[in-house]
């Protein structure tokens, strides 16, 4: 297994970077493709500091079919983990064509590269957004996929259809991991969520407010049918998500998959409201957060959390980290970024 080479698209991004670290530590050789549209190349130095290994890095856009085909002609890989995508729900509502073009064309080109070069193992970074607002909670993998609440969610649903169809016409096996809300950072504070521009995910908004980058935190709606009126999500530590990708790629390489296309939820199985997360951060850190309630954000579902029995029974995976570690690592990472920025300005 140590000699296997894994391509990670979007590997300098948030979840991709943590997965790269876990892959290297599991003995894999890693190559990364990223166009750095929402990530930074200095993540590569973080990889080296954590693992003493620097993965191969290729900077180009997977929407470029010729460049993608050239990569697959020149580089032999045993499996692909595909993260590369735009991922902000609200932004996708405002810029739907951008999301459809970027997320679907890059996927098609990557799968095309696999099929033409004999790469038969593919792990896809999917999302709980494919469920829309489920009729029943916790939601399991057999739930009907309702109309997506956002173009981003719809690109994940369409992507799964594309991958499923590809497995039907070639010797091509895939696992789609539908994860819920990744938060946290590597305990070293050398890699973490590092959005370019204004963040849209809750945890970096909280930590940026706590550190003083934002004057206040916006909470989008407090009139949902939830105990405190704010949206409920299933937050999961990014290291748990990364670990699941390593398990998924091993499952394919060892041919332990039960069908050509498999789907698994990744979550903790527990729903936490936005207000609960804010209060827990204040409780753990002692830092008061200034926030205001604004209107609902278009594209947000009211509540969703995972039924994780399938992945636990099939692979033995389950989340190891709780809310304490999620908040602790996120805050440590934000403080490390602040220190890094101060030093760079000197």
Terminus-to-terminus CA distance in the chain, angstroms? Answer: 45
| CA atoms within 13 Å, Cβ hemisphere of 211 | 19
- Per-residue model confidence as pLDDT tens digits over 53-105: 999 999 999 999 999 999 999 999 999 999 999 988 889 999 999 999 999 99
How far apart CA 206 and CA 217 sit, in angstroms, is 7
Which residue is catalytic, options 14, 99, 131, 152? 152
How far apart CA 59 and CA 70 sit, in angstroms, is 13
Cα–Cα–Cα angle for 306, 333, 215, rounded to 5 degrees = 90
How far apart CA 186 and CA 237 sit, in angstroms, is 9
Q: What are the residues whose beta carbons fall under 8 Å from the beta carbon of 229, sequence distance 6 or more?
A: 221, 222, 223, 275
152 is an active site residue: yes
Sign, CA torsion 24/5/177/219: positive
Q: For residue 80, with 0-12 CB atoms within 10 Å meaning exposed, 13-18 middle and 19 or more buried, which class applies?
A: buried
For helices 323-345 and 202-211, give the axis angle rounded to 10 degrees: 50
| DSSP one-letter code for 7 | E
How far apart CA 2 and CA 16 sit, in angstroms, is 20
- Per-residue model confidence as pLDDT tens digits over 181-225: 999 999 999 999 987 778 888 999 999 999 999 899 999 999 999
Domains and CATH numbers, the chain: 5-183+237-267 (3.40.50.720)
How far apart CA 233 and CA 295 sit, in angstroms, is 18
Q: Read off the tokens for 148.
A: 């997506």
Task: Tell me which residue of 196, 206, 197 sits closest to 235, measured CA to CA.
Answer: 206
Q: For residue 27, with 0-12 CB atoms within 10 Å meaning exposed, 13-18 middle and 19 or more buried, which class applies?
A: exposed
How far apart CA 87 and CA 158 sit, in angstroms, is 14
How far apart CA 189 and CA 46 sit, in angstroms, is 9
Residue pLDDT tens, the chain, 346 long? 457 999 999 999 999 999 999 999 999 999 999 999 989 999 999 999 999 999 999 999 999 999 999 999 999 999 999 999 998 888 999 999 999 999 999 999 999 999 999 999 999 999 998 998 899 999 999 999 988 888 999 999 999 999 999 999 889 999 999 999 999 999 999 999 987 778 888 999 999 999 999 899 999 999 999 999 999 999 999 999 999 999 999 999 999 999 999 999 999 999 999 999 999 999 999 999 999 999 998 888 899 999 999 999 999 999 999 999 999 999 999 999 998 874 443 2
> Is the Cβ–Cβ distance between 144 and 311 less than 8 Å?
no
């Amino acid at each position: 297994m140590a000699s296997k080479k894994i391509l990670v698209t979007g590997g300098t991004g948030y979840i991709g970077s943590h997965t790269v670290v876990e892959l290297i530590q599991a003995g894999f050789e890693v190559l990364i493709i990223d166009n750095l549209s929402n990530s930074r190349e200095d993540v590569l130095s973080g990889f080296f500091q954590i693992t003493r290994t620097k993965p191969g890095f290729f900077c180009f856009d997977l929407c470029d079919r010729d460049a993608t085909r050239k990569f697959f002609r020149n580089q032999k890989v045993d499996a692909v983990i595909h993260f590369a995508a735009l991922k902000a729900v609200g932004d996708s509502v405002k810029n739907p064509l951008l999301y459809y073009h970027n997320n679907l064309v890059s996927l098609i080109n990557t799968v095309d590269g696999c099929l033409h070069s004999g790469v038969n193992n593919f792990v896809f970074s999917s999302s709980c957004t494919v469920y829309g607002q489920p009729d029943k909670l916790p939601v399991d993998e057999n739930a009907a996929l309702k109309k997506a609440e956002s173009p981003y969610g719809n690109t994940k649903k369409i992507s799964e259809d594309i991958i499923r169809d590809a497995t039907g016409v070639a010797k091509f096996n895939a696992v789609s991991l539908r994860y819920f809300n990744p938060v946290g950072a590597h305990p070293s504070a050398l890699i973490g969520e590092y959005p370019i521009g204004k963040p849209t995910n809750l945890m970096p908004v909280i930590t940026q407010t706590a550190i003083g980058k934002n004057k206040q935190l916006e909470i989008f709606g407090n009139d949902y049918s939830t105990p405190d009126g704010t949206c409920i999500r299933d937050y999961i530590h990014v290291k748990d998500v990364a670990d699941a990708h390593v398990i998924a790629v091993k499952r394919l390489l060892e041919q332990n998959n039960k069908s050509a296309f498999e789907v698994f939820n990744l979550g903790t199985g527990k729903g936490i409201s936005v207000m609960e997360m804010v209060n827990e951060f204040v409780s753990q850190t002692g830092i008061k957060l200034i926030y205001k309630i604004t209107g609902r954000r278009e594209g947000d579902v009211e509540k969703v959390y995972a039924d994780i029995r399938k992945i636990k029974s099939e692979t033995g995976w389950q989340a190891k980290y709780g809310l304490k570690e999620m908040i602790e690592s996120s805050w440590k990472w934000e403080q490390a970024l602040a220190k890094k920025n101060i030093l760079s300005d000197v």
